[in-house]
A = this chain, B = another copy of it.
C-alpha cells in the first residue's frame, strides 16, 4: 500500500482490538529466573504468592509457557472506553527534522490517568473483584499508576488504598486530587500507618520516600488486612502480559498498512511500557521470524540496565517482597531528588532483564535536560505535551531519525509515547527557569547500592 495513504493517526476499530494478551516468556529459551522467598531464598510457590496477589494473577505471574491469555469480556469493555489507542505517524516531526526516516508513535495518554498504566490496572482490579476481594493496596511514585488504579477500582466498586511517595504527594497535589475524584484513599509514604513505615521513619527521619518504601507499606497492609491484596504497576511478568496490548495493537495497525518497523524504542523504569510495546515483535525475533532493533531508554540518574548488576535483589526497600533476578542498582539506591523525569525504580522487569542479558535488546541512558529539550521540541511540533518518562523515548527516536538523515537510510522507527505531561508542569517550569541539573551517579554512589545486594548461596 502506498505510503501517502497512511493517516496521521491510525485507529483500529473496536473489533480489531486484540482479544488475547501475549506472554513473551512462552517464546523465550532462557526463561526469567523465578521469584525467591526473601527469607529462605527458595522459589516462591503459588500458595505463598497468593498471600500477596490474587489467584488468577499468581497463575499469570508463574506461567512461562502459555503464549496467549484471553482478555475477559469485562476488561475488553473497559478497554473500549479508551482503546484502541492511536498509532500516530509523526509527519510533522519527520518534516521538521528533515529526515528520510518514518516515525510512528503509539500514544497511550488519551485517558484520564494520562498513561498506559490503566491497561494493567483494570486487569488487576478485575481479577481481585472476581475473587470476591474487598479492595487492593498499591504504591505510586509520579502518580500515574495510582490514578489508573483508582479509576479501575471506582469502575468496579473496589476499595483502593494508595501509598504515594512523600515527595510526589507534596509536589503533585493535583494527582492526589484526581485519585480522590475516583474515591481512593491516598497516604504519603513512609507513613506512621505501617510497621515498616515507622521503621523507615525512625531510621531516616527526614526522608522524602521512595518507590521501594511505598511498596513495602502497601504490601504490609495487603497481607495484614482480610479481603485485600497488593497490586503493582510495573516490573512483574503479569504486568508485561497485560501491557502486551500496546504492542499487539501496534502490530495489527502496522500490518494493516504493510509497514515493518526497523527500530522499536521505549522508555524503561520497571519495564511495563517497554515490555508491552515490544512483546509481539520480540516474539517474532525469538522465533526467528523477523528481526528488529529494540532500544530501552533510561535516565542517566537511574541507570539500571546500563550500569546495574544482573543479580537477585529485593524488589522493595523494606525487604518484605520476594527477590527477583534483574538488572538492579540495589534496593537501597535512591536517585537524587533533583531528578524529575520519573523512571526512578532501582530494578527492572525480570523478563526484560533476561532478554537484555541474552543480547536481544540494547539500552541507552540519557540526561534529563536533553529529555526536556526533546519534550518541548516534540510538543511544539506534534502538539502533544509529553510526560518526562515518555520523552526519554522521544529523545532517542529523534537521535535515530537524525542518524538516518546523515546516512540517508529510510528506516522505520516506532516508539512508545506512554503518557501526557499535564501533571509534570513543575518540572517543565524548573526546566524553563534553568533550574534543572543533570545528576549522574558516580561509581562510588553505585557501589553503596551494590553493597546492599543480598548474599546468595
As a 0/1 sequence over residues 111 to 126 of chain A, the CB contacts with chain B under 8 angstroms (1 = contact) are 1100000000000000
- Copies of this chain, complex-wide, total 2
B181–A383 touching, CB < 8 Å: no
Interface check A379, CB cutoff 8 A:
yes
A residues near B (Cβ < 8 Å) are 7-9, 11, 13-14, 80-82, 92, 110-112, 151, 154-155, 173-174, 177-178, 180-183, 376, 379-385, 420, 422-423, 425, 428-429, 432
Name the residue in A82, A92, A112, A423 with the highest tally of chain B Cβ atoms < 10 Å from its Cβ: A112
Question: Could you pull out 8 A-B pairs where Cβ atoms are within 8 angstroms?
Answer: A7-B13, A82-B383, A110-B110, A112-B379, A177-B428, A178-B428, A180-B429, A181-B432
Nearest residue (CB) in B for A152 is B383
Nearest residue (CB) in B for A182 is B380
Nearest residue (CB) in B for A175 is B425
B154–A380 touching, CB < 8 Å: yes
B112–A384 touching, CB < 8 Å: yes
Nearest residue (CB) in B for A372 is B181
| Distance, CA A420 to CA B9, complexed state (A) | 21
B155–A376 touching, CB < 8 Å: no
| Distance, CA A13 to CA B384, complexed state (A) | 20
| Distance, CA A41 to CA B420, complexed state (A) | 48
Q: How far is the CB of A3 from chain B (nearest CB, A)?
A: 15
Point out the residue from B7, B14, B173, B381 that lies within 8 Å of A80, measured CB to CB. B7
A8–B383 touching, CB < 8 Å: no
A420–B112 touching, CB < 8 Å: yes
- Which chain B positions have C-beta within 8 A of A382? 81
- Which chain B positions have C-beta within 8 A of A174? 174, 422, 425
**Given A112-B420, A383-B111, A432-B151 contact (CB < 8 Å):** no
**Given A151-B383, A383-B82, A432-B111 contact (CB < 8 Å):** no
Nearest residue (CB) in B for A151 is B383
| Distance, CA A379 to CA B113, complexed state (A) | 11
Nearest residue (CB) in B for A113 is B383
B80–A181 touching, CB < 8 Å: no
| Distance, CA A382 to CA B420, complexed state (A) | 19
A383–B112 touching, CB < 8 Å: yes
A181–B376 touching, CB < 8 Å: yes
Name the residue in A92, A110, A425, A432 with the highest tally of chain B Cβ atoms < 10 Å from its Cβ: A425
